A = this chain, B = another copy of it.
Amino acid sequence: MTEDFPLLPLVSDRCKNRNPVYFWQDVPIVENEHKDPIQLVGGLPNYKFFPVTGANVQLREEPFKDGNDDLLFQIKDVSTRDDEVDIKNSFQYSDQNGQIELRNQIKEFVKRVVKPVSNDWDIVCTLGGLDGIMKCFDIFINPGDTVLIEEFTFTPVLNNLVEFGGIPIPIKLNNLIKDHKIDYVDELENMLNNWESIHPNLSKPKMLYTIPNGHNPLGLAQSLDHKKRIYQLAELHNLIILEDEPYSYLNFTKYDETPNYNLTNDEFINSLNPSFTTMDTTGRVIRVETFSKIYAPGLRLGYMVINKALINLFTKSGELLTRAPSGFSQIFVNNTIIKLGGIEGWIQWITKVRNEYLKRKNHFINSLMKTKAYKEGYLTPIDPNCGMFVSIIINIEKSNEFNGINYNQLMDKFYINSAQIGVLAVLGRNMSVKSEFSTERSNFIRTAISFVDDVSILDLAAQRLSDATCKLFE
């Protein structure tokens, strides 16, 4: 790592002091070494010990449609193509950061779609989004370090942060309930400028963890202006921006617009919300991606866009905590991309996934808006910008029972109603960093539109949610 890289002083003591032993290293210097020595070092089985010699894989044409013979590809035991992953390599012990062929594909994708502005970025594969986040905490968090997090968030990250002794600090989302917006620059600026007086016993934050597009649970995207101002604050206060982006490619138009389901790749890319990496000249943005939403969660495969100076830290963290991602997962993803015609074909597949989610989203929002509970003003869906979730505000302040503080009791009542009527969603408060901090903004639920077999079930869900809500206002 170069000495002047600004994230260097932020590396955790644990990772700085990590000094792994490697039994195949620590050998004397050899002059005039043999050019082609017989390798008896590593306990690697010859690939002809592996029970599989090949596979033919059938791809879909698009989500919810079967494939055809044009969409068959072969997984080979030995490939001569330099972009193809073969059984010989992927079934073997392999590169901690992912097979080189897959990393090359991902890099091409990132260059084409994400467009980081720096010249010093690279990618490392992970075992999925949360794995990437865990490794970031491993690398940067000392016990007692603080991390800024949107007050509602993907709470499993909190478990990983706390494990390393980190302290999550919620950022208030002021305009959430009223304007359905994520807009916290002023809030953040105030927190950072007055840190010592607001949190006299806590160290200044090292990191902002954010889900900028298709925020989980809210589905919202930050505006470009919001991001630019956040990045300026990060520069000023030497914050790492951990950009978690599982949903950014599932980007939506508004519910009342006519969608274009035939986007060209250029149109699709231009429609995406810009990443923090497009403004990051310093290397402080770490982008976390996953194949879970656009390929399959069972892969346990994702990647991170990071500054090259950090690669070695991620390698060591991975060697210790997880070892390499499954080669079986990597061979499927890499060779699927090839079969689809490379990155351009892969972008087309992603667009098809996005189309299906967009259809579901618009259908569900429209369904909700036809319900009694919506018409009476008892519930308000937040039309999401991206993702697979629709959050729905329950306007409990209109209930006769609302007394200004009983958010939790009324949301409990709502939950019981909905579970009895037959629809289960996540309570907003359960996705808060600190439920007591967020009580007055937690009168919402998160619904996932991803799992049901058909949109008709979303109609039924909307009806049941309406019934459960109306019962609260009886």
Contact = CB atoms under 8 A, between A and B. Distances in A.
Contacts of A21: 155-156, 158-159, 430
Interface in A35-66: 36-46, 48-60, 63-64, 66
B329 A43 contact: no
A422 B24 contact: no
Interface in A434-452: 447-452
A332 B450 CA distance: 26
> How many copies make up the complex?
2
A160 to B, nearest CB: 7
Interface string A70-95: 00000100000000000001111110
A327 B298 contact: yes
A256 to B, nearest CB: 22
A345 B456 CA distance: 46
Contact of A422 (B38, B59, B324): B38
A66 B53 CA distance: 7
Given A45-B388, A46-B453, A323-B131, A59 B63 contact: no
For this complex, into which size category does the number of interface residues on chain A fall? 35 or more
Nearest to A353: B49
Contacts of A20: 156, 159
A384 to B, nearest CB: 12
A473 interface: no
B91 A296 contact: yes
A67 interface: yes
A419 interface: yes
B325 A322 contact: no
B326 A43 contact: no
Contacts of A25: 430
A404 to B, nearest CB: 21
A447 B42 CA distance: 8
B447 A37 contact: no
A127 interface: yes
A301 B388 CA distance: 30
Contacts of A91: 296-299
Interface in A418-436: 419-427, 430-431
Contacts of A48: 60, 63-64, 453
B38 A420 contact: no
B45 A53 contact: no
The CB with the most chain B CB atoms within 10 A, among A20, A28, A43, A300, is that of A43
A30 interface: yes
A297 B93 contact: yes
Given A39-B451, A419-B34, A430 B26 contact: yes
A78 to B, nearest CB: 12
Given A57-B52, A323-B131, A452-B46, A461 B30 contact: no
A39 B320 contact: no
A33 B419 contact: yes
A38 B461 contact: yes
B451 A45 contact: yes
A187 interface: no
Interface of A: 18, 20-28, 30-34, 36-46, 48-60, 63-64, 66-67, 75, 89-94, 127-128, 130-131, 134, 155-156, 158-160, 163, 216, 292-293, 295-301, 319-329, 332, 336, 349, 353, 356, 388-389, 412, 415-416, 419-427, 430-431, 447-453, 457, 460-461, 464
Query: Which 10 pairs between the two chains have the least Cβ-Cβ distance?
Result: A298-B327, A326-B326, A34-B422, A91-B296, A40-B447, A91-B298, A328-B328, A30-B419, A28-B412, A50-B296
Given A43-B448, A46-B450, 15 more contacts: A21-B158, A31-B420, A38-B461, A39-B424, A40-B425, A46-B453, A51-B59, A53-B66, A55-B75, A89-B298, A92-B297, A131-B322, A134-B321, A298-B326, A325-B326
24 contacts: A18-B163, A20-B156, A22-B155, A23-B155, A25-B430, A26-B430, A27-B419, A27-B430, A28-B416, A31-B416, A34-B419, A37-B423, A38-B457, A40-B447, A41-B424, A43-B450, A51-B60, A52-B296, A55-B55, A56-B56, A131-B322, A299-B327, A325-B326, A328-B328
